[in-house]
Amino acid sequence: MSTSGKLYFSAALALGISIILFQLYGRGWPFGLDVPLDIVNVEGRGRGLIATRDLPQGYLILKENPLFVIQAEDLGRRLPSTLSNLDKTDREAFFQLSFPSDIPNSDIPEAILRTNGVSIRSNETAIFRLLSRVNHGCSHATNSVLSWRDNHAVLYAIRPIKKGEEIFREYVPSKFSRKVRRDNLEALYGFRCNCPVCLLSPVETEKSDIRLSSIATIEAELYDRNKLGKEEADPKELVRLAKRVWGLGETEGYWVGRGRLAEEVSTIAAAYHDSDACRQWARLSAEWYGYELGRDSNQTLRMIQISLNPTSHPYWGESRKKTEIGGPDE
């Protein structure tokens, strides 16, 4: 290449890089990337993410690598060295995250971690540029589910989300009364929950509390796998309980955990040799695991496999009794 050719090439390269940088940082999201989110100030919740267009159920809202992952124990010692090992951009991203305003300067890093940490495995917390900004929403305020996959997290829309709606996920399970949920959140994350469900009227709160507590009680009974195969376990009664949880969730508008619920019934069907019911419940489970965790998640794929071949279920024929338990629509 001649000298002038090299010059033109360098100029074109510099222009190209400038355009890319402008698209990345000057105009928000890069062109061509469909990230329908905006970061906004939310009354009483610091900053949060809102949808900039309608998102369908099961939509992959975000897939993100963490800035860092840290062992939850012994944070005081680990956090300073973790932060000093970050590059400048990542460290700045960390310090841009929200924290309570009444914190002394020396405690800010720990306050940021406490406010924005995402529990990804037992005893491990991760910090994300964007996912850490998703606020907590109890019960039917929850419209997304975050799950961790090996080295990154994904966030899926558990129900359709309207343009302008804030994205919420559960930091702690919602199957408690309003008082217990708020106390848990205050103890663990240092904030008093003011999500739409916690701001319901006293009458509506009481109804919601009863539904959520009932769901928790029934699920605890249902998920006691030791009942399978025991004489006193009536499989039809277990299925009735599962359908009751499904119905309570429908009334409450709280859909988190439906993949697991339907899987549980497919397990009961498998244990009692009902291949049709096992197939149908496994299909339903795959559908809801697909919304919650992604259609390519291990849970979804496992349930699709069971739906295609019920006798491959690890609990197949666990009980000696054969019982027709019926599908989800019966």
Q: Which stretches of the chain bind Zn ion, using CB under 5 A?
A: 138, 193, 195, 198
CB closer to Zn ion out of 129 and 169 = 169
Rounded-to-integer distance, Cα 222 and Cα 228, Å: 10
CB closer to Zn ion out of 44 and 317 = 44
Instruction: Work out how close the CB of 198 gets to Zn ion at its nearest, in angstroms, rounded to a whole number.
Output: 3
Task: Say if residue 36 is exposed, middle or buried (CB neighbours under 10 Å; 0-12, 13-18, 19+).
Answer: middle
CB closer to Zn ion out of 182 and 258 = 182
Let me know: does 323 contact 235? Beta carbons within 8 Å. Answer: yes
Instruction: Work out how close the CB of 234 gets to Zn ion at its nearest, in angstroms, rounded to a whole number.
Output: 36
Q: What are the residue ranges of helices labelled H in 223-314?
A: 235-252, 258-271, 275-293, 298-308
Rounded-to-integer distance, Cα 194 and Cα 206, Å: 16
Task: Say if residue 293 is exposed, middle or buried (CB neighbours under 10 Å; 0-12, 13-18, 19+).
Answer: buried
Instruction: Work out how close the CB of 249 gets to Zn ion at its nearest, in angstroms, rounded to a whole number.
Output: 17
Instruction: Work out how close the CB of 282 gets to Zn ion at its nearest, in angstroms, rounded to a whole number.
Output: 33
CB closer to Zn ion out of 178 and 283 = 178
CB closer to Zn ion out of 147 and 184 = 184
CB closer to Zn ion out of 70 and 158 = 158
Rounded-to-integer distance, Cα 191 and Cα 138, Å: 13
Task: Say if residue 266 is exposed, middle or buried (CB neighbours under 10 Å; 0-12, 13-18, 19+).
Answer: buried
Instruction: Work out how close the CB of 53 gets to Zn ion at its nearest, in angstroms, rounded to a whole number.
Output: 26
CB closer to Zn ion out of 146 and 265 = 146
Element of type H or E holding 68: strand 68-71
Residue 220 structure tokens = 């605890």
Instruction: Work out how close the CB of 136 gets to Zn ion at its nearest, in angstroms, rounded to a whole number.
Output: 7
Let me know: does 263 contact 300? Beta carbons within 8 Å. Answer: no
Contacts of residue 37, Cβ cutoff 8 Å, sequence gap at least 6: 49, 50, 51, 52, 61, 62, 130, 167
Q: At what angle do helices 202-222 and 258-271 cross, to 10 degrees?
A: 30
Instruction: Work out how close the CB of 141 gets to Zn ion at its nearest, in angstroms, rounded to a whole number.
Output: 6
Instruction: Work out how close the CB of 316 gets to Zn ion at its nearest, in angstroms, rounded to a whole number.
Output: 41
CB closer to Zn ion out of 51 and 195 = 195
From the list 92, 110, 95, 99, the residue with the least C-alpha distance to 47 is 99
